[in-house]
A and B are shown apart, each in its own frame.
Chain A
Amino acid sequence: MISTLRIGLVMALFVVLLLAMNARLFYLNIIDGDFLQDQGDARTIRMERINAHRGMIRDRRGKPLAVSSPVVSLWANPQELPLSSEQLAPIAISLGIDSAEFVARVNAARDRPFIYLRRHMRPKEARTVLDMNTPGLYGEREYHRYYPSGEVAAHLVGFTNIDDHGQEGVELSFDDWLAGTPGKKKVLKNLYGEIIRDLVPVSDAVAGKHLDLSIDIRLQYLAYRELKSAVSHYKAKSGTVVVLDVETGRILAMVNQPSYNPNNRTRLDLASVRNRAVTDVFEPGSTVKPFTVAVALMSGLYQADSVIDTSPGFIKVGSKTIRDPSNRGELDLGGIIARSSQVGISKLALTLDEFEVAAMFQKVGYGQSTGVGLPGESNGYLPNYRRWNDIDRAAFAYGYGLTVTPLQLAASYLTIASGGLRRDVGLLNEGNLKETRVYSKSVADELKSMLARVISEGTGGKASITAYRVAGKTGTVRKIGENGYLDTEHLAFFAGMTPLKNPKLVGVVLINEPKTKAYGGGSIAAPVFSRVMGSALRLLNVPPDDPGGAA
């Protein structure tokens, strides 16, 4: 017999199940809801980056040297892109690429969720492609770096890579400052990582800070123009010009040849990327002679008018003979510098405490970082012998056996221009001036007037500037090859300051391996110095200190 009781039991069982399931439903949805929602969020909510605008790099007058503009990078998820070539073709056409090639590329990446189609498109162009509403096609806001001054400031400013990270120059050394902080936004993603919904922005992107350099782009331009024409005229391998502001130690211009276009680096020659003004070292040769003379003046053994007999034009030191081009006879200290007498400076050096000379070189900045903060800067080389033999003492005094960078050479000449003060060179338009006295003002004034004689009666005549007086020193060194010094490859340079009375600018010009008959610093580097500094003085409205010379 069918039992009513049993039917009732089964009904009761289903009612119990009803209650049990509703209780469980309540537990899951309400009691355990927070835990389960957190678990769900952990699987679905992701943080997306909002790219930050990179700060501008500007020159001392606010002219832009590097600017970021918004661009759109097109990317695709090949797993979502339409399968048929007919639907893919319009994308290829609007991108201006071969559609067969495009289809092949997409099909080759079908197992991947991400490929870039084209990066850094103009927003308007990207919009026309995105407006076709092809599934699987996306745009990402990025920033493209543009360098208005191109190759002129390329070495200083450097460049960023396509991901907006600094790779060279101040773009690299001040990357953190410029980069800013990317923002974050919460997004909801499905299992395949596709963004379903933008949720709240968690933090806005903080734009990078602007960087104001001490460079004056006008000086940079004219220095670059003069250097480029000189390097091509002399068929030189490379060249460098550095101009410093005496008052602050700041760099006003720093140019090199060869250079490159930072806006189009498709055919970049790596040798042209180097900022030779800080990375390349050379033996400074005669340009260090003033500092040897400074030690002589400070030793109390010599006065400015002390006379050294350089006859007969050569001197035997140890096994080596040091020669002047001709017998220069009796020279005072200024004469030794003006005529650049190796014999005179050697004789002088051999009477001095060699450790004092080395200490002076060290004090004017050789063998150590300038602190300018440019990537790849070389410290140069300053020997630190325990015992010096005579030939080393003599060679050291006229600038062999140590190496410096063009910037170090400029910085050391700044100590003369500033009246014996060493000022740290800098690249930024701000920060405190740091100076230390390295020798007295009277020594500096003596050196200045000796260096002025280099222009008026010595090797540096071609460095003279109309209406301004110049003090400076030429340098010509032979380059070192596999078998010692080479007779045919030279480095011609000039370091100087102007105007003489109260120097405003210090400049260094260096021409590497000129292929012309005349290869000396006086004939090759000095004219460049004259043209660059002359234009710079006029541009900066520096009053002439030699109006009579104007005629």
Chain B
Amino acid sequence: MTMAARSVFVPPTRCPVDPVVMGSALFLLLAGLIMVASASIEVSARTYGNPHYLLMRHATYLAAGLGVGGLALLTPLSVWQKLEYPLLGLSFVLLIAVLIPGIGKEVNGASRWISLGFFRLQGSEFVKLFSILYIAGYLVRRKEEVQLRFSGFFKPLAVVAAMALLLLIQPDFGASVVIVAAVLGVIFLSGIPMRFFLPVIAVCATLVGLLVTLQPYRLARLTAFTDPWQHQFSGGYQLTQALIAFGRGEWFGLGLGNSIQKLFFLPEAHTDFLFSILAEEMGVVGAGLVILVFTCLVIRALMIGRTAAKQGEDFHAYTAFGIALLIGVQASINLGVNLGLLPTKGLTLPLMSYGGNSLIISCALVGMLLRIEYECRHKMAVLPRGRNRG
């Protein structure tokens, strides 16, 4: 048994939180802070006249994120379970509000934000969290119905489809893919019969295919992705610049702060393409380590879910799965985009990229995950050992 698995059985008094989740998350947050500092310095200096402008903002969000994460850690999971419907309602309010001119703020042709003066709230980030809480709650409430009737499976799908549709209107294709994938993943893990599940997967795949091919700008992105060097001065520009960053990195990178691509060649160097800059400055070794830590975090979250399931804490389990999938899917898409394995998509790297909403919600997810592990471990400690079959 690995050390990570063993920690579940450590009495709560000895270690207040799961060291693997905590360690991975802190590693990624710190690496993110350092890389944002390096990648944003030139952009900050040119755009804001202060080389530390974006770094200071990121640090502020990080502090807020740690606070939110701490609150999530202190919040019993039952509170979230009770808030399921209000949060679902809030999700739709947010998704509709961003679309209303005057409330929603349009940036680069997408209206994704609600301006709160000092802070621009990105609805989709909160909806990510709320959607997995909703599906977890639903699966717990309708346990039998979901297992037996297709309608029980179909109803939450309709809700999530409505969310995805609202996200596509913004448009925010990336967020809708992440949410749909996470929700479907949680349903899959809940043990739904494959005869319900497979047709839905087929329909989703068809829909995504249609979305990509029907909207010309997405198709252009797709073709640019398949041969970026052919389109290096149009659609493939960003990708070629990202690939060059990787090529420069070699084994150990150019050294922290020495990225050339961040000198305005690679757009979004401190947000969506932070990983490319990391690979340029830290090489295969640094970038590989980050991928490894993400995988550790995701697998550890899945293990926490499995433990909760074994204890019969289904809501805990589903929420843990949801968190694992949100972080895992989003990170995989972002890394895949950076590495040129997926078409370019506007998604941040959770816990690392610059961006207040993403950072705060990522911290909240980690805080909740720690809470789930804590509650399970606590329950384990007070239960008689004989009932532990894990």
Question: A interface vs B, CB < 8 Å?
Answer: 1-4, 6-7, 10-11, 14-15, 17-18, 20-22, 24-26, 28-30, 32-37, 39-40, 43-44, 188, 190-192, 196
Q: Given A30-B251, A39-B244, decide whether A2 and B295 contact each other with a Cβ distance below 8 A.
A: no
Option from B189, B292, B340 in Cβ contact (under 8 Å) with A7: B189
Contacts A28-B339, A29-B247, A40-B260 aside, 10 further interface pairs with beta carbons under 8 A come to A7-B189, A14-B298, A15-B295, A18-B295, A35-B247, A37-B244, A37-B248, A40-B248, A44-B265, A196-B263
Residue of A nearest to B283 (CB): A29
The 8 closest A-B pairs by CB, nearest first: A36-B247, A190-B263, A191-B264, A28-B246, A40-B244, A2-B309, A18-B295, A3-B191
- B185 on interface, CB distance cutoff 8 Å: yes
Option from A3, A18, A28 in Cβ contact (under 8 Å) with B247: A28
Q: Given A4-B306, A17-B295, decide whether A25 and B189 contact each other with a Cβ distance below 8 A.
A: no
Highest count of chain B CB atoms <10 Å: which of A6, A21, A191? A21
Across the interface, which residues of B come within 8 angstroms of A192, CB to CB? 264
Shortest A18–chain B CB gap in Å is 4
Q: Given A10-B185, A28-B340, decide whether A37 and B288 contact each other with a Cβ distance below 8 A.
A: no
6 sampled A-B residue pairs with Cβ under 8 A: A10-B325, A24-B339, A30-B284, A33-B250, A190-B42, A191-B265
B292 near A18: Cβ-Cβ < 8 Å: yes
Residue of B nearest to A44 (CB): B260
Shortest A38–chain B CB gap in Å is 9
Option from B185, B191, B261, B284 in Cβ contact (under 8 Å) with A25: B284
Across the interface, which residues of B come within 8 angstroms of A14, CB to CB? 295, 298-299, 302, 328, 332
C-alpha spacing A2/B188, complex, angstroms = 9
- B34 on interface, CB distance cutoff 8 Å: no
Q: Given A14-B295, A29-B284, A190-B42, decide whether A43 and B185 contact each other with a Cβ distance below 8 A.
A: no
Instruction: Tell me the number of A-to-B contacts counted with CB atoms below 8 Å.
Output: 122
Across the interface, which residues of B come within 8 angstroms of A40, CB to CB? 244-245, 247-248, 260-261
Across the interface, which residues of A come within 8 angstroms of B189, CB to CB? 2-3, 6-7, 10
Option from B263, B287, B291 in Cβ contact (under 8 Å) with A191: B263
B305 near A22: Cβ-Cβ < 8 Å: no
Q: Given A33-B250, A40-B260, A190-B263, decide whether A21 and B279 contact each other with a Cβ distance below 8 A.
A: no
Shortest A29–chain B CB gap in Å is 5
- B19 on interface, CB distance cutoff 8 Å: no
Give B205-256 interface residues, CB cut-off 8 Å to A: 229, 240, 243-251
Q: Given A7-B305, A18-B295, A33-B250, decide whether A25 and B279 contact each other with a Cβ distance below 8 A.
A: yes
Across the interface, which residues of B come within 8 angstroms of A20, CB to CB? 341
A6 near B265: Cβ-Cβ < 8 Å: no
Residue of A nearest to B314 (CB): A2
Across the interface, which residues of B come within 8 angstroms of A25, CB to CB? 246, 279, 284, 287-288, 291, 339
Across the interface, which residues of B come within 8 angstroms of A15, CB to CB? 295, 299
Count class of interface residues, chain B? 35 or more
- B336 on interface, CB distance cutoff 8 Å: yes
C-alpha spacing A190/B269, complex, angstroms = 14
C-alpha spacing A482/B9, complex, angstroms = 119
Highest count of chain A CB atoms <10 Å: which of B246, B279, B288? B246
C-alpha spacing A240/B324, complex, angstroms = 96
Across the interface, which residues of A come within 8 angstroms of B292, CB to CB? 18, 22
Residue of A nearest to B232 (CB): A39
Option from A10, A30, A190 in Cβ contact (under 8 Å) with B302: A10
C-alpha spacing A28/B242, complex, angstroms = 10
Question: Interface digits, B117-158 against A, CB 8 Å rule (1 contact, 0 not)?
Answer: 000000000000000000000000000000000000000000
Give B288-340 interface residues, CB cut-off 8 Å to A: 288, 291-292, 295, 298-299, 302, 305-306, 309, 314, 317, 321, 324-325, 328, 332, 335-336, 339-340
A2 near B261: Cβ-Cβ < 8 Å: no
C-alpha spacing A221/B302, complex, angstroms = 98
- B358 on interface, CB distance cutoff 8 Å: no
Across the interface, which residues of B come within 8 angstroms of A7, CB to CB? 189, 302, 305-306, 321
Across the interface, which residues of A come within 8 angstroms of B190, CB to CB? 2
C-alpha spacing A24/B339, complex, angstroms = 7
Across the interface, which residues of B come within 8 angstroms of A190, CB to CB? 42, 263-265
A2 near B302: Cβ-Cβ < 8 Å: no
Give B170-197 interface residues, CB cut-off 8 Å to A: 185, 188-191
C-alpha spacing A36/B314, complex, angstroms = 49
B306 near A33: Cβ-Cβ < 8 Å: no
Across the interface, which residues of A come within 8 angstroms of B249, CB to CB? 29, 33
C-alpha spacing A11/B325, complex, angstroms = 10
C-alpha spacing A129/B127, complex, angstroms = 56
Across the interface, which residues of A come within 8 angstroms of B321, CB to CB? 7
A29 near B264: Cβ-Cβ < 8 Å: no
C-alpha spacing A20/B295, complex, angstroms = 12
Give B322-367 interface residues, CB cut-off 8 Å to A: 324-325, 328, 332, 335-336, 339-341
C-alpha spacing A32/B246, complex, angstroms = 9
B250 near A21: Cβ-Cβ < 8 Å: no
Option from A21, A37, A39 in Cβ contact (under 8 Å) with B335: A21
Across the interface, which residues of A come within 8 angstroms of B263, CB to CB? 44, 190-191, 196
A2 near B291: Cβ-Cβ < 8 Å: no
C-alpha spacing A36/B341, complex, angstroms = 16
Across the interface, which residues of A come within 8 angstroms of B309, CB to CB? 2
Across the interface, which residues of A come within 8 angstroms of B283, CB to CB? 29
Residue of B nearest to A37 (CB): B247
B251 near A29: Cβ-Cβ < 8 Å: yes
Shortest A135–chain B CB gap in Å is 9
C-alpha spacing A7/B320, complex, angstroms = 12
Residue of A nearest to B276 (CB): A28
